[in-house]
Amino acid sequence: MFRWKIAGLLLFILLLWELIIRFFVLSPAQEVFEPRLGYVHAPYASILRTYEGYARFTLDQFGLNNEPLPTVLPTNRVFVVGDSFVEAYQVMRDENFVSRLGNKWQHSLLFNAGSSGAAPDKSLISYDMLAPLVKPTHVLLCVNASDLYEILSAQERRDAAGDLTALVRPVDKPSRFTPLKLWLYGHSALITHLKWKYENDIRAWLTGFNEKKVARKSHELAGKDLQKAVEHWHFVLRSLQKTGVKLSILMMPELEYLPNKQVHLRVRQGRTILASEAIKLGIPVLDSNAVFAQDFEKSGQPAIGFANTHYGKGHINAHGHQILANWLDEQRSVILR
């Protein structure tokens, strides 16, 4: 009898923890398996995030951070693609820069195709998959310095002449345990929370490899690695150019806040090369670093980081998205050329 009481108490505590996390921390990870991209958010998934800032919304029919795609498409259709800085799960949808621009630009659709961890090669795959439905007239490809190193790891496909024909990312194929795993993540916020918080630490303990520490290292490429990374970057840019869309590059902010409203602008090797190589191909490059630095020197309000974590590190906050939207609105003639 005593054992049943202990078991009942533990079950009650787990259910209580589940409800607290579900309604106040984050939603269950509602994911589906996509052969080219791996595990992605399910269409119309309900999202709650409080790790940085606060956000609650429902995804679109593609599992992306948009309102459902309209039946009648407007004249200009801007495909905005990049990593979690574009995805913007840290702020409410109407606060992110893509939505703000959509409200400013009449007769234009600003389509948010951002996906956490997406390097440019993955962004190209997303474009290829969604372009027949969104029918983009313009593409705003958002990158940061680390993308040069990430794109280096994409696997190549070449033709008989040795020319690069595709960049692919190997994804884990579903196993017999996949349906159970997806069901657990899709129905339990508690399991999702434990996975996101401790999965890397458990993997590091088991294998001795810590992804977070490796990601924090500064990288410098040289020789064949640099040449290969640049070739991959050119492939992404030329592939988008061949579609006939008007392509622009947005360099996302990378800076460090200092005392007395001072800012240290981070200009890493990857940032310089990504920008210079795009310019060589005749692609406009918009670098947001100076805009963010000028705002902080004037207002003293950090545009990166959140009060519930710490200002100055992490993703762009609501103030930062406002800065970015206002500045990109001034660059409308470049993007919508």
What's the whole-model pTM score?
Answer: 0.92
Q: Average the pLDDT over each of 30-44, 104-118, 128-142, 202-216 and give the range with the smallest value.
A: 202-216
Of the candidate CATH numbers 3.40.630.10, 3.40.50.1110, 3.60.10.10, 3.40.50.300, the domain formed by 2-171+181-335 belongs to 3.40.50.1110
What is the arithmetic mean of pLDDT over 149-168? 93
Predicted confidence (pLDDT) at residue 292 exceeds the cutoff of 80: yes
**Cβ atoms of 91 and 321 closer than 8 Å:** yes
Q: Which two tokens stand for residue 337?
A: 């050329």
Percentage, residues of the chain above pLDDT 90: 72
Which residues, 6+ apart, have CB-to-CB distance to 208 below 8 Å? none
Res 108: pLDDT: 95
| Average of per-residue pLDDT across 17-22 | 92
Smallest CA-to-CA distance from 55 within 308, 322, 324 is with 308
Per-residue pLDDT at 216? 45
Report how far residue 305's alpha carbon sits from residue 6's, in angstroms, rounded to the nearest whole number: 42
Q: What is d(CA 44, CA 280) in angstroms, rounded to the nearest whole number?
A: 40
The pLDDT tens digits of the residues spanning 65-74 come to 999 999 999 9
332 neighbors 293 (Cβ within 8 angstroms): no
> Average of pLDDT values for 113-130?
96
Between 194 and 114, residue with greater pLDDT: 114
Provide mean pLDDT across the span 311-327: 96
pLDDT in tens, 50-100: 999 999 999 999 999 999 999 999 999 999 999 999 999 999 999 999 999
- Does an H or E element contain 10, and which? helix 2-24
Q: Provide the residue ranges of all domains of the chain, joining segments of one domain with +.
A: 2-171+181-335
Cα dist from 64 to 3, 123, 141, 268, 335, whole Å: 46, 13, 16, 30, 22
C-beta of residue 111 within 8 angstroms of C-beta of residue 136: yes
